[in-house]
Structures are given as structure tokens and as C-alpha cells.
């Protein structure tokens, strides 16, 4: 890092600066639509139908019963499946769906110890001990506050939850979306048919038969988090003519990861492969021009400072075409894909080409200057867990 | 500074976000408007901020506070643009 960068960074942390006024462009896709489409339908769950040995996304019977009571509280209030899913997502974050009789001993600003209780870790200002320890009542308290938030259905899920919970990290609940979706989808299956098994297995792997829907539903459906599995699926798409890797050396990177024979400098982050897979779910054909430049020794662009190079080099991808049309980063296909991607990538994932499109404020993606002849995506400065998408 | 503005849990939400807002990206301003300041763990910065990994457009800065270590993600859209805070995350509680 250069001294210039270091001083500038410290300046923003230590010294007041003016914010440039930006126009917020409301994404055509909406923030909630795809997530909502991925979850099960709303309906009361008969907790007696949850098998004693049930296990979903790591949660056992007691936790699934609590999730069902949360969903039922939403139904009782006349709220849709979106709300039930948010409630379960919040409770996973607060209590892992365990009806806790204690809090985390956090200290309130007045010096008192937080007296949080229950599934939602509500303090005494929310209600009596009995109310906060009763799952359905606690959930009702959560939903009644959610109902007072204007436009909560259109908000990014973690922010909708945080308008109620007020966590110091507004993105805190995002990491629990995949688990919550798996749980709510399982519970919904109980209301429509007897499950064939008391155990919902981990997410199936992505396959070459993934449908191309061309809608926000495209982000639904389980997606493997394993690089080798993902790379294998992508190779099949190459053979099928749906995925074109512009240079053979980058196609070889995928082949090596699929075979498990890649060298230390030639790895590909599972998230990079997942992002390509998501593009294939959204478009009939996808063109990729750049992957791991550290592997190829390419010093294009920012050279060894490039997100195609740092951290081992496999955390960035450049797309050059969707559906046979060249990308600028601001064209309709790029905008559509960015809207989808923003819903599933971790906060701080990046898109290039900021100057190539109308001013757009994404929730999770940050943006930077890059040439307008491709669409750059990277996850170089985010936590390393694979994206979690469950159907 | 952004972290000094962040570590003020005794303020009301409107006052807290009004002061913090000037350091935030547009997306972060919307996100942090949902925070209840009383749930902010830190009350003061205890050491100078240290830039960590990053490039011309994203830097991860660590800031030590009385509640532990926070990682502040700052971004800018161009190499000559202003750095703005995108995320403040407690990584190591005290």
C-alpha cells in the first residue's frame, strides 16, 4: 500500500469529510424479491408434524419447533411468508433458535447489564419475562414492531430485521439467511405433504442442468460451496457451449480446480465460481475473460495490486458478454446481474465500471473505476465463507 | 473521525446517525440508520487506526476501542475520490 493511500484512509476514519450527494437509483429488481421467492409459502405449521429426529441446516427438533412458532405468529398477524422468514432469520442470529433464559451480559449505556431473554434476546422494555420467554408471544412482539416500519417488505432482509433489533452491525443477520430459508422451506413442506425423510440433507450441488430462468428467481436453488464441485459443473457448461472462457489458460484454471490438481498460486475461490454459476442461471450464455492472474502471471490493470492477483489470485472474475452481447458494466444485462448479485454477496464485494453506469447505490456491492469493456466482480476484501443459497 | 462518531451509545438514534452520516457511503448511511446506538458496544477509541490490506479502492482499517477491535471497511469509487466508510464490524470483543 502506498503512503498516499494510507494517509487518505486514515483521514476518513479520523477526520470529518463531506459526503458527495448521490442519487439513489432504486433497483428495478428490488432488494427482497429473490429472497422471498426462495422461501416456502406462508401457512401455519402444526408443530406435532415435526418429526422428533428432524434436523435441518444443523437445527434439531426443539429449534425447529421454535421456528414453527415464529412462523405461526406471523400467520396469526396476517403477515406473509416474508415476515415469517425474517423472524426465523432474526432468531437464528439472536439465539440460534434456542429459547434462552439469559442474555449475553452486554452492558447498557447506563452501565446496567442487559437483561435480554428468549429467542429474540429482548430486554425488559419489550415485555414481561413470561412474554419474552414464550416463543409465540416474543415473535409477536417482534412482528408488531416490524409492522410499524414503512416498506419493510422491500428492504434488504438484514436491514428490515435491524430496524427492529437495532444491532450495531446492520449486516449481522445477512449470514443467517440461508439457514433461515432452509428451515422455513422445510416447515412449509410439512404443511403441504409429509416429508419423505425426517432429515433435510445439506444443499445439493449445482449441476449442469440448472435452469435458465432469466428472472430474479434465478438466484433461488441450492448452490454448492465446494470449489471442485463448482468447477466441474462449470466445465460441463463450457462443453455445452453456454460458458466461454476467452483464454485457454483461464479455462485451464477451472479444469485444474475441477481435477483438484491446481497449484498454490492457481486456486479459485468458491465464491468466484459461484458467481459464474449465478450468471449461468441468469443468462443463456456467459463469457469470462479473466480469472486468476497470479496463476497466469498477467500484470494487466493494477498488476500485482489487482484483485485478480492478491490473496492467491482467485477472488475476481471479469465477464465480457452475457447472452452474446458485449458488456460495458452499465448495459441492461450488467445492471440486471448486479441487482441479483447484490442480494447474495457479502458486504464489501466489489463491482468495477462505476463510471460506466448511472449512479447506483447497491447494498452489499461497493464500486470502483474500471474500463467499460467488461464487468468486473471480486470478493477480495470480504470474509471467505461461500455464498449460501438454499432452495 | 468515523469511529469516534460511532462509539457514542448514549446518544439518541437521530443525533447519532446525523453525526455519523457524513463519513458513510450512501448505502452505509441507509444501513446504519437502522442501528440502535444503545447496542453499540464501544464508548471510545483507545488507539490510533491502522490501515490493513486493501488497494486503491478498498481499505480495511483496524481500530481499537474499549469494546475490542473493529474492522472498518472504507471505499472510494476512483483513485482520486474521497474515502468513505462502508462497514464497521466488531471483530474481536474485549
For chain B, report the end-to-end CA distance as a whole number of angstroms: 21
Take residue A65 and report the three cell numbers written for it. 419447533
- If one counts every other C-beta atom within 10 angstroms of the C-beta of residue B15, the result is 12
| Chain B nearest-CA residue for A26 | B27
**pTM above threshold 0.90:** no
CA of B15 to nearest chain A CA: how many angstroms apart? Answer: 15
A-chain residues near B83 (CB < 8 A): 8-9, 11-12, 17
Predicted pLDDT of residue A360: 87
CA of A45 to nearest chain B CA: how many angstroms apart? Answer: 31
In 3D, which of B61, B52, B55 has the Cα closest to residue B79?
Answer: B55
**Mind listing the pLDDT tens digit for each residue in B24-49?**
999 999 999 999 999 999 999 998 87
Cross-chain CB nearest to A5 (options B24, B56, B75): B56
Predicted pLDDT of residue B49: 79
Instruction: For residue A151, give every residue at least 6 positions away whose Cβ sits within 8 Å of its Cβ, in sequence order, or none.
Output: none
Predicted pLDDT of residue A103: 72
Take residue B20 and report the three cell numbers written for it. 455519523
Predicted pLDDT of residue A138: 97
Q: Does B73 touch chain A (CB under 8 A)?
A: yes
B-chain residues near A14 (CB < 8 A): 1, 49
Q: Report the percentage of chain A scoring pLDDT > 70.
A: 78
Instruction: Answer whether residue A99 shows pLDDT above 60.
Output: yes
CA of B35 to nearest chain A CA: how many angstroms apart? Answer: 4
Predicted pLDDT of residue A34: 38
The single residue listed with the C-alpha cell 483513485 is: B79
Q: Does B20 touch chain A (CB under 8 A)?
A: no
- 3-state secondary structure at position A81: helix
Interatomic CA distance for residues A44 and A71, integer angstroms: 7
User: DSSP secondary structure string, A98-116?
Assistant: ---SS---PBPTTSPBP--
The single residue listed with the C-alpha cell 417482534 is: A142
Judging by DSSP bridges, how do beta strands B50-54 and A325-326 pair with one another?
Answer: unpaired
Q: Report the percentage of chain A scoring pLDDT > 90.
A: 59
CA of B91 to nearest chain A CA: how many angstroms apart? Answer: 11
Q: Does A20 touch chain B (CB under 8 A)?
A: yes
Q: Does B56 touch chain A (CB under 8 A)?
A: yes
Query: For B44, phi and psi rounded to 5 degrees?
Result: -160, 150
C-beta atoms of B87 and A171 within 8 A: yes
Instruction: Answer whether residue A92 shows pLDDT above 90.
Output: yes
Interatomic CA distance for residues A46 and A24, integer angstroms: 43
**Mind listing the pLDDT tens digit for each residue in A274-314?**
999 999 999 999 999 999 998 888 877 777 778 888 877 89
What's the mean per-residue pLDDT of chain A? 81
Take residue A384 and report the three cell numbers written for it. 471467505
- 3-state secondary structure at position A116: coil
B-chain residues near A15 (CB < 8 A): 1
Cross-chain CB nearest to A168 (options B27, B43, B90): B90
**Mind listing the pLDDT tens digit for each residue in A216-260?**
334 456 678 899 999 999 999 999 999 999 999 999 999 999 999
CB A45 within 8 A of CB A84: no
Residue-by-residue pLDDT tens, chain B, 94 positions? 799 999 999 999 999 999 999 999 999 999 999 999 999 999 999 988 777 788 889 999 999 999 999 999 999 989 889 999 999 999 987 6
Instruction: Answer whether residue A375 shows pLDDT above 60.
Output: yes
CA of A87 to nearest chain B CA: how many angstroms apart? Answer: 16
C-beta atoms of B83 and A362 within 8 A: no
- 3-state secondary structure at position A23: coil
CA of A123 to nearest chain B CA: how many angstroms apart? Answer: 11
Q: Does B74 touch chain A (CB under 8 A)?
A: yes
Take residue B6 and report the three cell numbers written for it. 460511532
Instruction: Answer whether residue A76 shows pLDDT above 90.
Output: yes
Range of lowest pLDDT (A18-32, A71-85, A92-106, A329-343)? A18-32
Q: Does B12 touch chain A (CB under 8 A)?
A: no
| Chain A nearest-CA residue for B60 | A381
A-chain residues near B35 (CB < 8 A): 162, 166-168, 170
Amino acid at each position: 500500500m502506498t503512503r498516499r493511500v494510507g494517509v487518505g484512509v486514515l483521514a476518513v476514519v479520523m477526520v470529518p469529510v463531506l459526503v458527495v450527494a448521490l442519487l439513489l437509483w432504486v433497483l428495478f429488481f428490488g432488494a427482497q424479491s429473490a429472497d422471498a421467492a426462495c422461501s416456502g409459502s406462508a401457512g401455519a405449521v402444526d408443530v406435532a408434524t415435526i418429526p422428533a429426529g428432524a434436523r435441518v441446516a444443523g437445527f434439531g427438533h426443539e429449534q425447529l419447533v421454535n421456528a414453527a412458532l415464529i412462523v405461526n405468529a406471523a400467520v396469526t398477524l396476517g403477515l406473509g411468508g416474508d415476515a415469517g422468514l425474517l423472524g426465523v432469520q432474526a432468531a437464528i442470529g439472536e439465539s440460534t433458535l434456542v429459547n434462552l433464559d439469559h442474555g449475553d451480559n452486554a452492558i447498557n449505556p447506563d452501565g446496567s447489564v442487559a437483561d435480554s431473554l428468549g429467542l429474540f434476546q429482548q430486554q425488559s422494555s419489550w415485555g414481561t419475562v413470561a412474554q419474552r420467554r414464550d416463543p409465540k408471544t416474543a415473535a409477536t412482539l417482534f412482528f408488531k414492531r416490524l409492522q410499524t416500519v414503512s416498506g419493510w417488505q422491500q428492504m434488504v432482509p438484514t436491514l428490515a430485521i435491524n430496524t427492529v433489533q437495532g444491532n450495531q452491525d446492520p449486516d449481522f443477520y445477512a449470514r443467517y439467511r440461508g439457514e433461515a430459508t432452509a428451515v422455513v422451506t422445510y416447515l412449509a413442506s410439512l404443511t403441504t405433504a409429509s416429508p419423505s425423510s425426517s432429515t433435510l440433507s445439506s444443499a445439493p450441488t449445482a449441476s449442469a442442468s440448472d435452469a435458465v430462468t432469466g428472472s430474479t428467481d434465478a438466484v433461488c436453488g441450492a448452490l454448492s460451496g465446494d470449489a471442485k464441485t463448482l468447477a466441474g459443473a462449470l466445465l460441463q457448461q463450457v462443453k455445452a457451449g453456454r460458458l466461454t472462457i476467452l483464454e485457454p489458460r483461464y479455462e485451464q484454471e477451472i479444469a485444474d480446480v475441477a481435477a483438484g490438481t491446481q497449484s498454490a498460486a492457481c486456486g479459485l475461490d468458491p465464491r468466484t465460481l459461484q458467481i459464474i454459476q449465478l450468471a449461468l442461471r441468469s443468462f443463456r450464455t456467459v463469457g469470462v475473460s479473466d480469472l486468476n492472474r497470479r496463476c497466469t502471471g498477467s500484470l494487466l490493470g493494477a498488476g500485482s495490486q489487482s484483485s485478480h492477483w492478491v490473496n492467491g489470485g482467485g477472488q475476481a472474475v471479469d465477464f465480457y458478454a452475457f447472452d452474446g452481447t458485449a458488456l460495458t458494466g452499465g448495459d441492461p444485462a450488467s445492471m440486471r446481474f448486479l441487482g441479483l448479485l447484490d442480494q447474495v454477496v457479502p458486504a464489501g464485494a466489489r463491482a468495477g465500471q462505476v463510471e460506466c453506469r448511472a449512479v447506483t447505490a447497491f447494498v452489499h456491492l461497493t464500486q470502483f473505476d474500471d474500463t467499460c469493456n467488461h464487468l468486473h466482480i471480486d470478493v477480495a476484501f470480504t470474509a471467505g465463507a461461500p455464498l449460501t443459497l438454499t432452495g | 473521525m468515523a469511529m469516534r462518531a460511532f462509539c457514542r451509545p448514549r446518544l439518541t438514534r437521530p443525533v447519532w446517525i446525523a453525526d455519523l452520516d457524513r463519513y458513510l457511503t450512501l448505502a452505509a448511511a441507509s444501513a446504519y440508520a437502522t442501528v440502535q446506538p444503545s447496542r453499540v458496544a464501544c464508548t471510545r477509541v483507545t488507539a490510533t487506526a491502522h490501515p490493513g490490506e486493501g488497494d486503491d479502492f478498498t481499505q480495511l482499517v483496524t481500530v481499537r476501542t474499549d469494546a475490542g477491535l473493529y474492522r472498518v471497511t472504507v471505499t472510494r469509487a476512483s483513485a482520486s475520490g474521497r474515502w468513505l466508510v462502508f462497514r464497521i464490524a466488531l471483530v474481536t470483543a474485549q
